[in-house]
Structure 1
Amino acid sequence: MRNFSLIASFAAFALAALGAVGAATFMVDRIEHGSERAVESLFLQHRLDWASVEMDGLQVRLTGTAPDEATRFEALTLAGEVVDATHVIDAMEVVPPKPVEPPDFSIEMLRNDEGISLIGLVPKALDRREMTELLQNIAGPGEVTDLLESADYPVPDGWAPALNFALDALADLPRSKISVAPHEVRVTAISDSAEQKRDWEAAMRQAVPDGVEVSLDISAPRPVITPFTLRFLLDEEGGRFDACSAHTEDGRARILAAAAEAGLQGQTECRLGLGVPSPRWPDAVTDSIRALSRLGGGTLTVSDADVTLVAPEGTAQRRFDTVVGELEAALPDVFSLHAVRPEPPAEDTADGDDPEGPPEFIATLSPEGLLQLRGRVSDERLRAAVEGFALARFSSAEVSAAMRVTEGLPAGWPGRVFAGLQSLSKLSNGALVVQPDLVEIRGDTGLPDAKAEIARILGEQLGAAGNFTIDVTYHEAETAPEEEAPTAEECVAAINAILSVRQITFDPGSADIEGAARISVDRIAEVMEDCTDVPMEIGGHTDSQGREQMNLGLSQRRAEAVLEALMARRVLVANLSAKGYGEAQPIADNDTAEGREANRRIEFTLIEPEAEEDGDGEGEGNGDEAPEGDGADSEAETDE
């Protein structure tokens, strides 16, 4: 009995123990699963889906691969909010960091008239000092602006050949933007002509190094044609252009088609350019060519919006009136027509009123380089100006002057003479004949555009009603001789000759160069191309009207305006200075209107080196007494 009781007691204890263990086990499992679900839920809320949670008793084991160390630490922190942090076992891994990539090295180079600028990132190993010296040689007087940054990484493959090619291209392209990267160069540039564009592209394509990709974007902007000129002649031999200009491909095609219908002989170049006076230029030109054809011949000159139609000698008045009337009605509103019906020349008589014949100026240029000037000029000043102009324009020629002064020459005679000489300078040999109603130029040239250039010069200088003929033959085998640079004296004489034909005038009280005065500045800029090393002073002068101090100030501003106008035309002006003299140096009588007009002038004078060295000594001219703040051309108060 007693043994049975003991067995029952032990059994009860065993069952109780088993129940307690079962209950404990149940509670532990419940706590583990609850903690695991709580941690997993928290991870999901924070988008840590890469992490796995395993419970081992009271310990939380975290596994998985974190994208970075910060995210791994975030998982540990969140798990520690659910269970004691000491029970969290970190078995997580972190994605190994990527090796640091070298930066993208590149340079952008910009070159213009002001200099060269650089921006970008380059390897630290690049010899910046050597590259700056090279760029300074390329820029010349311009400034080199280096805004590059560097990074200490190995020089990438393809960097050196690309950079060397880019530097060579930069030296050849004065207006360009060049982008450089390893194995790649992008070139954007502006050329002066289509021919230059082709030459640059061909040269650079040949120089492209192996392994470097080069893209070229070189544009050739159309030239500005001023004045916009066309000249068409029609006679028994057919039609021909001395000059042809158009502003669009379609317009050019229409002009050439109209000329072909009128009898154009051979192939003709018609330049495309900017500066057309009206979009209806092709309409005006084609209507005028057809009118010339209906007259049976003659000469057509269109200079900007001025149309000059010269009929053949002997044209019937009725036919002339009909054709001219129809053309006047057809021309666009902007254009004006000047029609000429030449009268047959009068028969010569033995007892003529003028035994010397009509006024004439003749210049002949021989193939050997002898320039002979003979004929009539209006005064000694014009004779000296013509000779100086010839010496400058034909600096390689021997000039022989046999001109004589004659009173009563026609108005505009000096302008006709200078325009003719400027035209003759485009020939290798030839002759110029200037008469009151005709300027004739004939000869040979090695310049392909000489006829068009001569037509432009004569059309501009002689005006809409100017009558001229051009008989110039282009010889491709000939090359324009390399002329010696003109002397300092010849430079000054050539510029003052231009001013003697058309002074640089200003509106009253103004220092702005406008209208016809710009033509003189353009001509001076052309002469200055060969005279940039000559030290010259631009002097402003006035008449005696108005207050002296006011005249002095205005003449200074006008002299400076001429200097700035030349600078705007890309003339190097380092050797030029501007000074106003007011009314202090008259060259004519201020008591007459003609004298005052002559005194209101701009003059160029040579600055002698000896005068600069004298300092305060005798080398100072009387103009040095005037203050530099102001100077004048007295048209301010009394332009007549």
Structure 2
Amino acid sequence: MRLSSIAYIAATFAAGAIICVIVAVFAVNVIQDNSERGVRQALDRAELHWAEVEADGLRVYLTGTAPTEAIRFQALSTAGKIVDAARIIDRMDVTESKRIKPPRFSIEILRNDSGISLIGLVPASTDRDALAEDLADLSEGAQVTDLLESADYPVPDGWDVAVDYAVDALEQLRRAKVSVSANQVVITAISDSVTAKRKLESGLSRAAPLGLRLALEISAPRPVITPFTLRFLIEDGTARFDACSADSDTARDRILGAAMRAGLQGKADCTVGLGVPSPNWSVAAEQAIGALATLGGGSVTFADADITLIAAEGTDEALFDRTVGELENSLPDVFALHTVLPRPKDTKQAGPPEFVATLSPEGLLQLRGRVSDELSRVATESFARARFGSDKIYVGARLDETLPKDWPVRVLAGLEALSKLSNGAVIVQPDTVKVTGNTGNKEASAEISRLLVDKLGEAERFDIDVTYQEKLDPIASIPTPDECEAEIAAILSARKINFEPGSATPDSEAGGIIDDIAEILKQCGEVRMEIGGHTDSQGREVMNQQLSQARAQAVLNALRDRRVLTSNITAKGYGEEQPIADNETEEGREANRRIEFKLIRPEPMEEVETTLESVEQPTVDIPDDEAASEEGSTDE
């Protein structure tokens, strides 16, 4: 009986325990479902749809990828308002932070008479003290103001090359802005003259390293023309300018248009400059040129506001009077007109006295003819020696006391005009000065016209027949890089640089070929070229490459021995990589064993930013731990 009571009691407890477990499990499931549903609804209301909710008993798991750390924390806070925060298990991820893009490194170097300024953003590894010292050296100790910021990012490719080139270029630029970035340099500068501009552009382009994008914006100020001169002639039916000046592009076009209507053929130069005596300059020039065309020949010369019109010999007097009268009445105010109608010469009279100076292409000057007195002869000889060199003068002039009083002035003016030519002659007569010859200066004719007008007066007659020759132009005569390459290629196509078999020693005939190439390179200046060595395919590839490199270097060394500047010339061996003929034949192998000279061309720039405002100069402050994490990143 007692045992049965114990069994009954045990069964009762067991049934109660089972019922408690069932109730507990049911309660947990209810809590779990309610928690998961409540948190899910709260997250949806907060528009946090990326978050996933999963309840496991009393614990609530949050998963998913949050866009940012702040949004992840927002999801935790939202869930914590529904269930106890201790029950929330955070298994959310955060989108990987986007790597910080390296800044755009750039420098603006500004140079003027007061010093040099540096503005921009540079890599932290840049030696700013050395950069400032280099700039101070080229500016003769002028102040260098360093306003640069720095950022601890890797140095981009092409940065050091661009900075070095900019410093070298600035040595030639007295007033300039040089914008530097990786593989890119933009130079904005002012030159003293058009000639100086051409020289700068040529020199800077030649010195540009391989791969550097270079943009040049070099301007030349308008020259001050004094006296403001224009001289137009019609001789034997041919019209031409000896000098042409204008105060604007519009005035230049108007003057040239009038000249073309008067018979001018081809292209003519008209200098746009400062110093015009009247805003109606082009109107007066157009009217005077038109009047000369009506007369059919002669010359018209402007010296500031003074105009001299000289008709051709034999011009009808009635036509001359009518044309001159119309011109006088139509000219704008300020301009004064002086006219000359030459009378036919008496052929029975002896020729006029004259002084003749002849300048040879070698620079020798001969002085013949007549001078007024001993003092005048000494003055003429001294002036000539000062202009042309004391050891290049031959004097054979005789004295003539009957010459006009202004004869010494005319002689000296003629010699000064001759000094502007490479070779030629000047003939001085009582009523005219004639200058003929050749020059390498496109502006020589205009400069001589202004000179004679200034020294002799606008009413004097003079004749200028000057021919521009490009070979005499010290800038234009320099071969272009393409011309240099073509001239060397022509030599190598006719004669080949050969070497001793299996060696890098040029054979006996190669010396003459290298001599000719050296002469071309001396004329070409600092042109960037590569000497390429090539072999046939016989032998091991590695050995062929080494042999071709040694042969290219041997040619480079031979050029150095001939005093060729080779700082811009490199040697490279290509081995058998670039055949130009079939290596299966003896003729083909012979053709493939060769030396080539090729230009190293800078990359052109299609679009560059040239204003200071366009250069971004962010101030970057990178914590040490972030800087360390960025180590090894590449410039995008």
Shorter chain as denominator, the TM-score bin is 0.5 to 0.7
Quote how far apart the aligned CAs of 1:158 are. Answer: 2.8
1:159 aligns with 2:153: no
Quote how far apart the aligned CAs of 1:201 are. Answer: 5.3
Once the two structures are superposed, the pairs formed by residues 77-88 of structure 1 within 5 Å of their partners are: 77-88=77-88
For 1:384 and 1:75, locate their aligned partners in 2 and report how far apart those are by CA, in whole Å.
Answer: 105
For residue 184 of structure 1, what is the amino acid of its counterpart?
Q
Instruction: Give per-residue Cα distances to partners, 1:362-396, cap 9 Å, x unaligned.
Output: 6846653466897569xx9x999988866654554
Instruction: Give per-residue Cα distances to partners, 1:518-577, cap 9 Å, x unaligned.
Output: xxxxxxxxxxxxxxxxxxxxxxxxxxxxxxxxxxxxxxxxxxxxxxxxxxxxxxxxxxxx
Q: SS at the partner of 1:470?
A: strand
1:32 aligns with 2:53: no
Q: Kindly tell me: are residues 55 and 20 of structure 1, through their superposed partners in 2, closer, same or farther at Cα, counting changes over 3 Å?
A: closer
Q: SS at the partner of 2:92?
A: strand
1:466 aligns with 2:465: no
- 1:338 alignment partner in structure 2: 338
- 1:288 alignment partner in structure 2: 288
For residue 273 of structure 2, what is the amino acid of its counterpart?
L
Aligned residues: CA RMSD:
5.3
- 1:451 alignment partner in structure 2: 445
Q: Is the contact made by 1:424 and 1:441 (CA closer than 8 Å) also made in structure 2? A: no
Quote how far apart the aligned CAs of 1:301 are. Answer: 0.5
Once the two structures are superposed, the pairs formed by residues 125-204 of structure 1 within 5 Å of their partners are: 125-140=125-140, 142-190=142-190
Instruction: Give per-residue Cα distances to partners, 1:305-360, cap 9 Å, x unaligned.
Output: 432212345655543331112123443456443333456789999xxxxxxxx9x9
1:321 aligns with 2:321: yes
- 1:231 alignment partner in structure 2: 231
- 1:491 alignment partner in structure 2: none
Q: SS at the partner of 2:126?
A: coil
For residue 446 of structure 1, what is the amino acid of its counterpart?
T
Quote how far apart the aligned CAs of 1:97 are. Answer: 3.6
Once the two structures are superposed, the pairs formed by residues 509-548 of structure 1 within 5 Å of their partners are: none
Quote how far apart the aligned CAs of 1:56 are. Answer: 4.8
For 2:209 and 2:108, locate their aligned partners in 1 and report how far apart those are by CA, in whole Å.
Answer: 19
Q: Is the contact made by 1:124 and 1:150 (CA closer than 8 Å) also made in structure 2? A: yes
For residue 271 of structure 1, what is the amino acid of its counterpart?
C
For 2:63 and 2:90, locate their aligned partners in 1 and report how far apart those are by CA, in whole Å.
Answer: 7
For 2:28 and 2:218, locate their aligned partners in 1 and report how far apart those are by CA, in whole Å.
Answer: 86
- 1:599 alignment partner in structure 2: none
Q: Is the contact made by 1:249 and 1:272 (CA closer than 8 Å) also made in structure 2? A: no
For 1:137 and 1:312, locate their aligned partners in 2 and report how far apart those are by CA, in whole Å.
Answer: 62
Q: Kindly tell me: are residues 234 and 157 of structure 1, through their superposed partners in 2, closer, same or farther at Cα, counting changes over 3 Å?
A: closer
For 2:281 and 2:417, locate their aligned partners in 1 and report how far apart those are by CA, in whole Å.
Answer: 25
Q: Which moved more, 1:32-41 or 1:83-92?
A: 32-41
For residue 40 of structure 1, what is the amino acid of its counterpart?
L
Q: Is the contact made by 2:254 and 2:286 (CA closer than 8 Å) also made in structure 1? A: yes
- 2:122 alignment partner in structure 1: 122
For 2:99 and 2:263, locate their aligned partners in 1 and report how far apart those are by CA, in whole Å.
Answer: 78
1:308 aligns with 2:303: no
For 1:76 and 1:292, locate their aligned partners in 2 and report how far apart those are by CA, in whole Å.
Answer: 97
For 2:71 and 2:238, locate their aligned partners in 1 and report how far apart those are by CA, in whole Å.
Answer: 91
Q: Kindly tell me: are residues 415 and 364 of structure 1, through their superposed partners in 2, closer, same or farther at Cα, counting changes over 3 Å?
A: closer
Q: Is the contact made by 1:39 and 1:53 (CA closer than 8 Å) also made in structure 2? A: no
For 1:201 and 1:480, locate their aligned partners in 2 and report how far apart those are by CA, in whole Å.
Answer: 16
Q: Kindly tell me: are residues 250 and 325 of structure 1, through their superposed partners in 2, closer, same or farther at Cα, counting changes over 3 Å?
A: same
For residue 435 of structure 2, what is the amino acid of its counterpart?
R
Quote how far apart the aligned CAs of 1:455 are. Answer: 0.7
For 1:67 and 1:371, locate their aligned partners in 2 and report how far apart those are by CA, in whole Å.
Answer: 94
Quote how far apart the aligned CAs of 1:453 are. Answer: 0.7
Quote how far apart the aligned CAs of 1:116 are. Answer: 3.9
Quote how far apart the aligned CAs of 1:457 are. Answer: 1.9
Q: Is the contact made by 2:229 and 2:450 (CA closer than 8 Å) also made in structure 1? A: yes
For 1:34 and 1:185, locate their aligned partners in 2 and report how far apart those are by CA, in whole Å.
Answer: 64
- 1:274 alignment partner in structure 2: 273
Q: Kindly tell me: are residues 223 and 398 of structure 1, through their superposed partners in 2, closer, same or farther at Cα, counting changes over 3 Å?
A: same
Q: Kindly tell me: are residues 254 and 185 of structure 1, through their superposed partners in 2, closer, same or farther at Cα, counting changes over 3 Å?
A: same
Question: Pick from 412, 415, 440: which aligns with 2:433?
Answer: 440
Q: Kindly tell me: are residues 278 and 79 of structure 1, through their superposed partners in 2, closer, same or farther at Cα, counting changes over 3 Å?
A: farther
Q: Is the contact made by 2:354 and 2:429 (CA closer than 8 Å) also made in structure 1? A: yes
Q: SS at the partner of 1:426?
A: coil
For 1:373 and 1:393, locate their aligned partners in 2 and report how far apart those are by CA, in whole Å.
Answer: 19
For residue 459 of structure 1, what is the amino acid of its counterpart?
V
For 1:301 and 1:142, locate their aligned partners in 2 and report how far apart those are by CA, in whole Å.
Answer: 47
Q: Kindly tell me: are residues 420 and 145 of structure 1, through their superposed partners in 2, closer, same or farther at Cα, counting changes over 3 Å?
A: farther
Quote how far apart the aligned CAs of 1:117 are. Answer: 3.2
Quote how far apart the aligned CAs of 1:299 are. Answer: 2.1
- 1:51 alignment partner in structure 2: 51
Quote how far apart the aligned CAs of 1:241 are. Answer: 2.8
For 2:75 and 2:468, locate their aligned partners in 1 and report how far apart those are by CA, in whole Å.
Answer: 90
- 1:635 alignment partner in structure 2: none
Structure with more contact order per residue of length (Cα contacts < 8 Å, sep ≥ 6): 2
Quote how far apart the aligned CAs of 1:273 are. Answer: 1.6
For 2:20 and 2:73, locate their aligned partners in 1 and report how far apart those are by CA, in whole Å.
Answer: 43
Instruction: Give per-residue Cα distances to partners, 1:204-224, cap 9 Å, x unaligned.
Output: 556554544444445556545
Quote how far apart the aligned CAs of 1:454 are. Answer: 1.2
Gaps of 5+ in 1: 1-5, 350-357, 482-640
For 2:397 and 2:126, locate their aligned partners in 1 and report how far apart those are by CA, in whole Å.
Answer: 67
Q: Kindly tell me: are residues 280 and 475 of structure 1, through their superposed partners in 2, closer, same or farther at Cα, counting changes over 3 Å?
A: closer
Count of aligned positions: 454
For residue 227 of structure 1, what is the amino acid of its counterpart?
P
For residue 451 of structure 1, what is the amino acid of its counterpart?
S
- 2:523 alignment partner in structure 1: none
For 2:348 and 2:432, locate their aligned partners in 1 and report how far apart those are by CA, in whole Å.
Answer: 21
Q: SS at the partner of 1:149?
A: strand
Q: Is the contact made by 2:119 and 2:147 (CA closer than 8 Å) also made in structure 1? A: yes
For residue 123 of structure 1, what is the amino acid of its counterpart?
P
For 1:213 and 1:90, locate their aligned partners in 2 and report how far apart those are by CA, in whole Å.
Answer: 54
Q: Kindly tell me: are residues 80 and 129 of structure 1, through their superposed partners in 2, closer, same or farther at Cα, counting changes over 3 Å?
A: same
For 2:464 and 2:210, locate their aligned partners in 1 and report how far apart those are by CA, in whole Å.
Answer: 53
For 2:140 and 2:146, locate their aligned partners in 1 and report how far apart those are by CA, in whole Å.
Answer: 16
Q: Kindly tell me: are residues 25 and 241 of structure 1, through their superposed partners in 2, closer, same or farther at Cα, counting changes over 3 Å?
A: closer
For residue 340 of structure 1, what is the amino acid of its counterpart?
V
Q: Kindly tell me: are residues 415 and 56 of structure 1, through their superposed partners in 2, closer, same or farther at Cα, counting changes over 3 Å?
A: farther
